[in-house]
Structure 1
């Protein structure tokens, strides 16, 4: 016979089991790539890089060459290593056209070779973003950095939004893995979306429940070029690796961080949380002796408050951002 005391324990026992089941449920995690394999896969012959990239992009189904991965040599007639190389990492749902021509102008000013990547799933039909993982993007970032190391003695990584998140990931790698990373320029880096509900994306079962409730996300482009070069409609499943990556990088140790870092941000950014950006900057300033410069940008009327440079959405800020990056890098 079951006692009344034992019977009263069943609801508590059931609640504990349910809690364990919830907490043990599936969630999106970050897995890092095999860095040695990524590095070994990049051709050492600089002249072979364009054909290698073209072949890989065609295999990925990239039809628009304006969004494909691209190498631009300082001297196209005689490709050779340059003292500096510039690597551009674009943001979530964007492409290399996002802040163009900022990186190209910076490379020209530095006499540097330039590589602009394309993160997996981007520059393709929106559904392509649905099956991407954070590991895919980390692989792309490592590949881009390795190409930068092939192209120049010192590598400047420029990253916008989630591309900035990837740049910070590179800067927090062990010394051997980040060797050659000489400067980092972050434009509106993503240390957390402005929408606080994004934190729910990494909870257990979120990646099962949300796609059934909200299968797609769609937003309105500012103009035809943004509609062409950004993905304005994509499966909600694409948000999970983005948020997991952001949370992973935000809490990475800054001990030993030695990469000179320049950060542009806008207090009123409606895409990423500027307060989280400033908190990360404060942590970096306390932990690292690396040169650090922060620039609070006020967007011009009618221009974008997140992508704060580039001819498509913020043309009036392009020269300023270029000049500040070049001035930050040149003394080094």
Structure 2
């Protein structure tokens, strides 16, 4: 059977669904300081999953940058030609922009986006005031991952992981297929990141859905036990993986805003 070609979520008619978001700070709302927040979406997703969160922060006066990672928001076939290095280069570019335009920066991410911003926080510990992660992925209990170095040359994709959302009628508009070469690149980046988690000295706000069909329980203990900064864990009882679009989204928006205000005070 031929592999499915991406059409429904990544056609030109839907290009606006995947558009990045960039909003300048309004320091008159934040005590005269320019405070920036970088938000990163997850694997096979797009800014669509992060824009509501970003707009909620922008309404409070924070600068917001939501980049679109290379290979995302187009086709899974295109994504299969990109790697962790490409995605990290894009979040690094966005981080440099936010840092240059603001007095203080907080980084946040969903799923793989959480891993990417933890990588930023490890590499730029002195420049990041806080980290917010939602169902981040840095490890997995899945045994089939060990087969990817071989399988990725035989099969280009597996069924997609997008739209793991409890709320009825809501879609993430991610890919219908999971590109395996790209996935293998992500998995290969995890061990180095886990080893470097002690370099994360900023406070961490960790949101975790009680039911998540995408990211298993392997990541949370690794992150919470290894980062050097203080960690606050908040459970999301009424959301699945893409919690930023799910029933607990407003809780994420409100508590992350309070966190940003706290870690950037002074």
**Distance in 2 of aligned mates of 1:62 and 1:242:** 29
The residue aligned with 1:264 is: 207
Residue 169 of structure 1 and its aligned partner are, at CA, apart by 0.5
Indicate whether 1:242 and 2:173 are aligned. Answer: no
**Distance in 2 of aligned mates of 1:194 and 1:71:** 36
The residue aligned with 2:29 is: none
1:144 partner SS: helix
The residue aligned with 2:5 is: none
Which digits, 9 at most, give the CA deviation of each residue in 1:110-160, with x for residues without a partner?
x11111101110000221111112211110121111111123211111100
Residues 220 and 331 (structure 1), Cα distance of their counterparts in 2 relative to 1, 3 Å cut: closer
Residue 224 of structure 1 and its aligned partner are, at CA, apart by 8.0
**Distance in 1 of aligned mates of 2:59 and 2:260:** 13
Residues 220 and 161 (structure 1), Cα distance of their counterparts in 2 relative to 1, 3 Å cut: closer
- The alignment's C-alpha RMSD in Å is 2.5
The residue aligned with 2:258 is: 327
Q: Where in structure 2 are there 5+ consecutive unaligned residues?
A: 1-11, 27-31
**Distance in 1 of aligned mates of 2:21 and 2:54:** 12
**Distance in 1 of aligned mates of 2:34 and 2:145:** 41
The residue aligned with 1:37 is: none
1:263 partner SS: strand
**Distance in 2 of aligned mates of 1:271 and 1:149:** 32
Residues 263 and 291 (structure 1), Cα distance of their counterparts in 2 relative to 1, 3 Å cut: same
Indicate whether 1:188 and 2:135 are aligned. Answer: yes
Residue 276 of structure 1 and its aligned partner are, at CA, apart by 2.6
**Distance in 1 of aligned mates of 2:115 and 2:183:** 14
Indicate whether 1:140 and 2:67 are aligned. Answer: no
Indicate the larger mover: 192-201 or 97-106: 192-201
Kindly tell me the number of residue pairs found equivalent between the two proteins: 243
Residue among 200, 220, 242 paired with 1:307: 242
Q: Which has the larger radius of gyration?
A: 1
Q: Where in structure 1 are there 5+ consecutive unaligned residues?
A: 1-60, 76-80
The residue aligned with 2:9 is: none
**Distance in 2 of aligned mates of 1:100 and 1:196:** 34
1:293 partner SS: strand
TM-score, normalised to structure 2, is 0.81
Q: Write the mapping of 1:80-159 to structure 2, written as runs, cut at 5 A.
A: 83-109=34-60, 111-159=61-109
Which digits, 9 at most, give the CA deviation of each residue in 1:145-183, with x for residues without a partner?
11111232111111000000001101111xxx4543111
The residue aligned with 1:66 is: 17
Moved segments of 4+, more than 4 Å: 220-225
Q: Write the mapping of 1:282-301 to structure 2, written as runs, cut at 5 A.
A: 282-284=225-227, 288=228, 290-299=229-238
The residue aligned with 1:217 is: 158
Residue 107 of structure 1 and its aligned partner are, at CA, apart by 2.9
**Distance in 1 of aligned mates of 2:192 and 2:232:** 23
Residues 132 and 221 (structure 1), Cα distance of their counterparts in 2 relative to 1, 3 Å cut: closer
